[in-house]
Amino acid sequence: MKQLVMQLETLSCPTCGAKIEGALKKTKGVKNPEVLFNSSRVKLTIDEAIIDTEGVKKVISSLGYATISTKEIT
């Protein structure tokens, strides 16, 4: 398991954050996704045996949002 914080492009509304969070909750291998609207960040835990960082980025980009950076929380 790996904990990540992903910086997104600025989110324009709380609904955008809810949309991303909802999609990530349905994604296999993603646990506890939390979108922080005010800072346009996503905190989550991934099971690397199921999904990698690039897979998470693809889910987010499929919704029309860009990931600017990713940082692992140790």
pLDDT of residue 60: 96
Q: Phi then psi for 51, rounded to 5 degrees?
A: -145, 145
Q: Which two tokens stand for residue 4?
A: 């990540």
pLDDT of residue 61: 96
pLDDT of residue 74: 74
What's the pTM?
0.91
Q: Does domain 2-73 have CATH number 3.30.70.100?
A: yes
Where do the domains of the chain lie? 2-73
- Strand residues in the chain grouped as ranges (E): 2-8, 30-36, 41-46, 67-73
Report mean pLDDT in 10-residue bins for the chain, 74 residues: 95 92 97 95 96 96 95 88
pLDDT of residue 63: 95
Instruction: For residues 51 and 42, give the distance between their C-alpha atoms in angstroms, rounded to a whole number.
Output: 16
Which amino acid is located at 39 in the chain?
S
pLDDT of residue 21: 96
